[in-house]
Amino acid sequence: MSIIDFQTEPARYRHWRIERDGDVAYLIMDVDQAGGLSDGYELKLNSYDLGVDIELNDAVQRLRFEHPDAGAVVIKSGKDNVFCAGANIRYLGKSTHGHKVNFCKFTNETRLAIEDASANSKQTYICAINGNAAGGGYELALAADHIMLVDDRRSAVALPETPLLAVLPGTGGLTRVTDKRKVRRDRADVFCSIEEGIRGAKAVEWRLVDEVVPNSKWGDTVSARAHEIAARSDRPKSAKGITLTPLARKFDGDRISYPNVEVEIDRPRGLVSITVRGPSEPEPASLAAAHALGDKFWPLAVARELEDAILHLRANEPAIGVVLLRTEGNALAVLDYDAFVSQHDKDWLMREIRHYLKRTLKRIDTTPKSFIALIEPGSCFAGTLAELAFAADRSLMLIGTREGDNRPPAAITLGHVNFGLYPMGNGLSRLQTRFLGEPKSVQAAQSKIGVAVEAEEADRLGLITQAYESFDWDDETRVMLEERASFSPDAMTGMEANLRFAGPETMETKIFGRLTAWQNWIFQRPNAIGEHGALKLYGSGVKPEFAKDRV
């Protein structure tokens, strides 16, 4: 499969379109069956592959930033009597194991972004199902806050993956049915074991949908419900959105350059360095000036560039297992921007930027690579950028400065944003997760807000993994990275995913820490992908043969 590009824009969409009706936006799924990410399959019945979901992710972001006056978003089908048949089975059958897993992870993140928009942007999602919503189609609906189903004796919701394909719903369906929709466990067991799904009043009774609507009243009821929900939103009715323009990204061999982010791959060592640069200009003089900067406003620009870099490495560089996180710039300038965004936290755009940064940092939490933060002289691990060090699996810090280097000593500078504004999937800040069961350690760190904490004190406070003198730095980091690269990548992925999600279990941590792990395993089992497995034989008319041993 060729390089996967996560950048797109509405003019290039082949599968979605956005339409507006006052304070309601319609996100219409109309998949071009000839528009697959690769050759060899057709996207029939509004089924989807990663390319369809890349467009969906882009649309969700644009609705938040470019349509601030939309208080509700209705996801609906552009095809008659068909909602969505879920992930395309031919596409999955052709894909490598790693691609399947990354596809499921990305679609999970996109659906969590939809839920984040409803919860934190007050841009509430409604799903209007006019036809069968099967598998991933129903999982897409489950991301919405309100699900409507047409009552036409044909339309139904279903999670048929287990009986049909010998796999699990890959995009959080099992978890959302029980934890979000509060479907009774035994009913959920029945629902996930039948191919035909459930329709009509029974779907409401089982809490699989919120309401069923007669076909004769469908259009009017969907519109009325959407405007009713939009009217409850606090999104500004007359605000002008900002356009998310194409990223200024340049590929040069193994280097990828953005205005604020630099990526350099070292293939012989199996690692990549991501350097995030702090702001080059002071924070804007006013909120109006920040709006005028649009997507060039530093916090938004750096969120978009870092996200694109992470997604590119995840999808296109699976053999690069170690990521070095570096920063450079003025720490105080980062804190000034953090203070500016927080000072104007009632403004819709500043709110959206904060949540975009939160979602970008979460991409690190769910990326199957080892992240190592290197805190050196001249770095600016401060405020928002300090979160990179806390998201890393390990953080190494140089003591003082190097001989002949006149840059400031290596330091971490904490800001108010490090104490709750960027929660992880477990609902805790990264510092709370780091110091699980140590509230006094969090308080000690909080007392250092605004202070450049150098290596030995950072080590004493528990903010870093290890501090090294300059004469030991090169050898110690080299040995650690060589050791990391020598371990089994499979074991590293499992270890990191378990250690990163310490603390409370939430719907989100269940999806990534439990459901994804099970799906990863099931995707490799012969009952799914063997010569006589269900995924291989789907659509052939031949009944799969299952090994009966439980493992």
Question: Alpha-carbon distance 147 to 126, whole Å?
Answer: 6
Question: Alpha-carbon distance 295 to 540, whole Å?
Answer: 49
Question: Residue 214 is which amino acid?
Answer: P
Instruction: Tell me the fold of 251-499.
Output: 2-enoyl-CoA Hydratase; Chain A, domain 1 (3.90.226)
Q: How big is the chain, counted in residues?
A: 551
Three-class DSSP category at 2: coil
Tell me the per-residue pLDDT of 342-355, one tens digit each, with 9 for 90 and over.
999 999 999 999 99
Candidate from 29-33, 188-192, 539-543 with smallest mean pLDDT: 539-543
Residue ranges, comma separated, of all CATH 3.90.226.10 domains in the chain are: 10-230, 251-499
> E strands of 363-418, at which residues?
370-375, 381-382, 394-398, 411-413
274: its two tokens: 């991501």
Question: Alpha-carbon distance 352 to 424, whole Å?
Answer: 17
Question: Alpha-carbon distance 493 to 342, whole Å?
Answer: 35
C-beta of residue 382 within 8 angstroms of C-beta of residue 415: yes
254: its two tokens: 């193994």
Q: Of 356, 362, 403, 408, give the one whose Cα is nearest residue 382.
A: 408
Other C-beta atoms within 10 Å of 462: how many?
A: 15
In which band, very low, low, confident or very high, does the pLDDT at 447 lie, cut at 50, 70 and 90? very high
Predicted local confidence at residue 500, as pLDDT: 93
Tell me the per-residue pLDDT of 133-184, one tens digit each, with 9 for 90 and over.
999 999 999 999 999 999 999 999 999 999 999 999 888 999 999 999 999 9
Q: What is the CATH number of domain 10-230?
A: 3.90.226.10
382: its two tokens: 């401060």
Predicted local confidence at residue 465, as pLDDT: 98
Predicted local confidence at residue 1, as pLDDT: 54
Residue 512 is given by DSSP the state I
Q: What is the chain's alpha carbon radius of gyration, rounded to the nearest angstrom?
A: 24
Predicted TM-score (pTM) of the model is: 0.96
Tell me the per-residue pLDDT of 302-358, one tens digit each, with 9 for 90 and over.
999 999 999 999 999 999 999 999 999 999 999 999 999 999 999 999 999 999 999
Tell me the per-residue pLDDT of 452-486, one tens digit each, with 9 for 90 and over.
999 999 999 999 999 999 999 999 999 999 999 89
